[in-house]
Structure 1
Amino acid sequence: MAGRKPKPTIIKQLSGNPGKRRLNKSEPSFSAGATCPKHLDKVAKAEWKRIAADLTTSGLLTSVDRSALAAYCVAFSRWIKAEELLEREGLVIVSPKSGYAMPHPAVSISNTAMTLMHKFASEFGFTPSSRSRINVAAPTKTKADPLDAFFDLNTNDDEGLRQ
């Protein structure tokens, strides 16, 4: 299919529907959030934890997005590992067969991982240009928390505490 791929309805809604085109009312909806897959390594899990909460709060992560975010996290982990290897061993190695200098294989691994990360990052709105097209409303509280009222510093009773 030629042309641009369509934006998901949630992205259009968060952007304020700038094209003012009809939104797909029949688009499937899925439960919010996703759990971190157990097969991810330590670096990938740390990246998942770093970004999943923000994506869920923004409404950009649902249960069916789990594999796409996991793929991003795996690419992130490979990129980190390749960069660490390049830091230790350098960008150039000597070919064992010919004896000539050649790029370290980790350069290709790093570049491929960065390309994949960028593709997934654009899908989730991680890049500055993709993020600039999304307007996220502040999350609304569904239930009043009594502690918020107790610690609210905007009342007149605590004027003496503010300085």
Structure 2
Amino acid sequence: MQKGNLTVITGQKRRTEEESVTTDKNQLKRPPKWLVDDIARKEWRRIVKELSQINLVGNLDLNNLGGYCNAFANYVKATEILKDQTYYIDRETRNGIIVVKNPMVDIQKGFAEEMRKFAGLCGMTIDSRLKVAAVKTESKEDNIKRQFGNI
């Protein structure tokens, strides 16, 4: 008996917590003007559409979403440049020619890391979406138990 009451209380608490952190989405309708290019704007529209379907983002996520989109656009540019180059280049020194890593590889890697950080902040990683799904599933189960009992 006590477990059932605790489950209902837990479910109500979760719903209240979710409602208290949900924000409007009106600022997400259009990409910010400070996005670096059309690639970033196209990515903005794509991810906002996807994340809105699972009700995961709001106005407070605008800067993180924009940061992700800019990092994505720069990653694409770096990848395009790197596509026509080798990963290692010959560098002439006083002692002769040495082979060093192409600096473009580090630039590409830096943008990939930036994308991962922003993606985690915005709920775009599989881990963050699974956490949300687990909470929503528990909430639905709690509602069913509350309506029909522990069948």
CA RMSD, Structure 1 to Structure 2 (Å):
2.9
Measure the CA separation in 2 of the matches of 1:118 and 1:73. 11
Aligned residues with identical type, % of pairs: 30
Measure the CA separation in 2 of the matches of 1:125 and 1:22. 19
Structure with greater contact order relative to length (CA < 8 Å, sep ≥ 6): 2
Q: For residue 36 of structure 1, what is the aligned residue in structure 2?
A: 31
Q: Scaled by the length of structure 2, what TM-score is found? A: 0.65
Measure the CA separation in 2 of the matches of 1:72 and 1:27. 25
Letter in 2 for 1:77: A
Asked whether the 8 Å contact 1:86–1:107 carries over to 2, the reply is yes
Measure the CA separation in 1 of the matches of 2:77 and 2:100. 20
Measure the CA separation in 1 of the matches of 2:106 and 2:77. 12
Number of equivalent positions: 120
Aligned CA distance change for structure 1 residues 25 and 51 (closer, same or farther; 3 Å): closer
Measure the CA separation in 2 of the matches of 1:69 and 1:27. 21
Q: Which has the higher strand share?
A: 2
Deviation per residue, 1:82-127 (Å, 9 max, x gap): 1111111121122255642211111111111111111111222222
Question: Unpaired runs of 5+ in structure 1?
Answer: 1-16, 138-163
Q: Scaled by the length of structure 1, what TM-score is found? A: 0.61
Give 3-state SS (helix, strand or coil) of 1:132's partner. Answer: helix
Measure the CA separation in 1 of the matches of 2:67 and 2:130. 23
1:67 to partner: Cα distance = 1.0
1:134 to partner: Cα distance = 1.6
